[in-house]
Amino acid sequence: MSLHIRPFKKLLVANRGEIAVRIMRGCRDMGIETVAVYSDADRTAPHVRYADEAYHIGGSLSADSYLVVEKLLNVAKASGAEAIHPGYGFLAERADFAQACYDANLVFVGPPPHAITVMGDKQTARETAKAAGVPIVPGTSPGSTDEQLIAAGHEIGFPLLVKASAGGGGKGMRPVHSADQLESAIAGARREATAAFGDGTVYLEKLIQNGRHIEIQLLSDAHGNSVHFGERECSLQRRHQKLIEEAPSIAVTPETRAQMGAVSTALAKEINYVGVGTIEFLMDNDGSFYFLEMNTRLQVEHPVTELVYGVDLVKEQLKAAMGEPLAWAQEEIVPQGWAIECRINAEDPFSNYMPSTGKLTHIELPTGGGVRVDTGVFAGYEITPYYDPMISKLICYGATRDEAIARTLRALDEYQITGVITNIPFHRHMLHNPDFRSGAFDTSYVEKQFTMDTYERQEQVAAAVAAVLATHNRTGSGSNGQQPTQRQSGRTTWKTFGRA
Ligand code: MV4
């Protein structure tokens, strides 16, 4: 075990918003003191209020605050923090930041820099996965010349996908549908990748169409042990922004889960991984799956796994960073029930998901059985263009998928948000959608097959049904003289009719 894995009592959270609060909650549960950092725009933010101490680190632009390594290390030193948690986004997957923490004698709550580097280059990640026995999509070998890429492309067959080695998360990809497009696609992707990442290395993979995005949650300790906490279904996304995630996936059998989990833990061991991590897979209609990439961080959607497996992933991550051995054998890790997460964003689903900024004048959050809300906003909070537009994560649990869906719809109706437009109607519409209900969706579903145009009609049908029921109730025995009125959310509420 290295010097960089050891117990600590005070942690700096190098992040903001809901994830900073989530991490600090885990710390508080464990008796670890917390240090926040904040930008100009975040002076009054919840993560600042929640922390034991908070330090201002600069202007509202991330480049002037949350991304400045030296400022973060200075705060760690000034506050006496012994460890740094990067959260997600910002510096979370920067190997140089992890190394800089080590060099400053701080514990980095995440994997060793080497694991970040290996997985950060998508082609190296692919080769490493292959060597560990993880199925990969047929594709080209590293170090191929253009001539070799073209020859291999013809051999693999079309359609193909040109990918940038330095890309990831969907950046720098180009589909190629026929031989005559191949040369120009390679050249175009190379130009784009050079401009975006300063690295023009590209490779080819067979294009898998109609795939689902399934990811496996990993946890590794610093003693060579790794376990997995099953899968998350993340196919419902738009422009590589996930909107709804669930655990388990309706498309994954226990056998497939065990296979995906086994190859994922093998890969984690291969790279001496420590802490929580995620392997992304593309899954075909026939249940075959292929490695896409590894995310070497805590993810936005980690709560669905927490609910279904009864685990606190932040606490486990902190314990791993302290050098504690894993508390489970794989056989002891069993999913129970179903969890769904909706990302509530300040964006308008009726206007091409255009971002909505402004003051959140009023907010009431759902609560009650089976409902978890992770948020970093409050009434009076200003939604600015500086940070991502996620207002809140709604995570609902049920014994079955149907129960989780019903709870989610109930909770969505409890949200009261004024001042900004939100995507709550998107979530309501999707959760009523027969394709969602039956599990008939893939990564292209939201962009290619889903429309908000039918939203009004469905609301009207619901209102008409409610009106018929109301008439029935008024005329039947036990009538209480109530009639339904339509709320903004489209749900029926009961108002006293006539005398109270
Ligand atoms: C693919 C693919 C189809 N075939 N690779 C997108 C993000 C990055 N993780 C890899 N991605 C994809 N790689 C092959 N060979 C389709 C995607 C893809 C995708 C993957 C997961 C979730 C959403 C996606 C949306 C579009 C494309």
For 186-208, write each residue's pLDDT tens digit.
999 999 999 999 999 999 999 99
Check pocket membership of 119 for ligand 1, CB cut-off 6 A.
no
Report the catalytic residues: 297
By alpha-carbon position, which residue is closest to atom 7 of ligand 1?
170
By alpha-carbon position, which residue is closest to atom 27 of ligand 1?
170
C-alpha to C-alpha distance for 125 and 20, rounded to whole angstroms = 28
Check pocket membership of 204 for ligand 1, CB cut-off 6 A.
no
Check pocket membership of 280 for ligand 1, CB cut-off 6 A.
yes
Predicted local distance difference test score (pLDDT) of residue 88: 98
pLDDT in tens, 482-499: 433 334 444 433 333 333
Nearest to 46 by CA among 20, 27, 25, 28: 20
Ordered structural domains, the chain, with CATH: 10-109 (3.40.50.20), 138-206 (3.30.1490.20), 212-475 (3.30.470.20)
Establish whether the linkage from the previous residue to 325 is cis, with ω within 30° of 0.
no
Q: How far is the CA of 448 from the centre of ligand 1 (A)?
A: 15
Check pocket membership of 459 for ligand 1, CB cut-off 6 A.
no
pLDDT band at 457 (very low <50, low <70, confident <90, very high): low
Q: Is pLDDT at 478 greater than 60 in this prediction?
A: no
Please state, rounded to an integer, the average pLDDT across all residues of the chain.
92
pLDDT in tens, 361-414: 999 999 999 999 999 899 999 999 889 999 999 999 999 999 999 999 999 999
Predicted local distance difference test score (pLDDT) of residue 468: 74
Please choose from 119, 292, 300, 441 the residue to mutate so as to test ligand 1's pocket, defined by most ligand atoms within 8 A of CB.
292
Q: How far is the CA of 168 from the centre of ligand 1 (A)?
A: 9
Mean pLDDT of the 27-44 span? 97
pLDDT band at 148 (very low <50, low <70, confident <90, very high): very high
Answer whether 110's CB lies under 8 Å from 318's CB: no
By alpha-carbon position, which residue is closest to atom 19 of ligand 1?
443
Mean pLDDT of the 426-454 span? 97
Check pocket membership of 442 for ligand 1, CB cut-off 6 A.
no
Please choose from 213, 231, 237 the residue to mutate so as to test ligand 1's pocket, defined by most ligand atoms within 8 A of CB.
213
Q: Is pLDDT at 480 greater than 60 in this prediction?
A: no
By alpha-carbon position, which residue is closest to atom 14 of ligand 1?
207
Check pocket membership of 299 for ligand 1, CB cut-off 6 A.
no
Lowest mean pLDDT segment, chosen from 37-51, 257-271, 375-389, 431-445: 375-389
Return the SS3 of 396.
strand
C-alpha to C-alpha distance for 184 and 314, rounded to whole angstroms = 45
pLDDT in tens, 99-139: 999 999 999 999 999 999 999 999 999 999 999 999 999 99
Structure-block tokens of residue 176: 């190629």
253-260: Cβ within 8 A, 24+ apart = 253/287, 256/283, 256/287, 256/289, 257/230, 257/231, 259/289, 260/214, 260/216, 260/228, 260/231, 260/289
Q: Scanning the structure block, which residue is given the tokens 């990809």?
A: 173
Predicted local distance difference test score (pLDDT) of residue 167: 87
Find all residues with CB under 8 Å of 279, minimum gap 6, and list them: 129, 134, 215, 216, 218, 260, 264, 267, 291, 294
Nearest to 40 by CA among 66, 13, 22, 14: 66
By alpha-carbon position, which residue is closest to atom 22 of ligand 1?
213
Predicted local distance difference test score (pLDDT) of residue 328: 97
Lowest mean pLDDT segment, chosen from 148-157, 308-317, 464-473: 464-473
Please choose from 126, 209, 243, 282 the residue to mutate so as to test ligand 1's pocket, defined by most ligand atoms within 8 A of CB.
282
By alpha-carbon position, which residue is closest to atom 12 of ligand 1?
170
Q: Scanning the structure block, which residue is given the tokens 């420590």?
A: 274
Return the SS3 of 481.
coil
Nearest to 267 by CA among 320, 226, 214: 226
Give, to the nearest 10 degrees, the angle between helix 313-322 and helix 17-30.
Answer: 60
Q: How far is the CA of 170 from the centre of ligand 1 (A)?
A: 6
Predicted local distance difference test score (pLDDT) of residue 417: 96
Check pocket membership of 161 for ligand 1, CB cut-off 6 A.
yes
By alpha-carbon position, which residue is closest to atom 21 of ligand 1?
213
Kindly give the number of the ligand 1 atom that is closest to the alpha carbon of 280. Answer: 9
Q: In angstroms, what CA-CA distances link 183 with 15, 146, 179, 196, 269?
A: 42, 8, 8, 20, 38
C-alpha to C-alpha distance for 32 and 10, rounded to whole angstroms = 5
Looking at residue 63, what DSSP letter applies? G
C-alpha to C-alpha distance for 466 and 410, rounded to whole angstroms = 16
Q: Is pLDDT at 324 greater than 90 in this prediction?
A: yes
Predicted local distance difference test score (pLDDT) of residue 86: 98
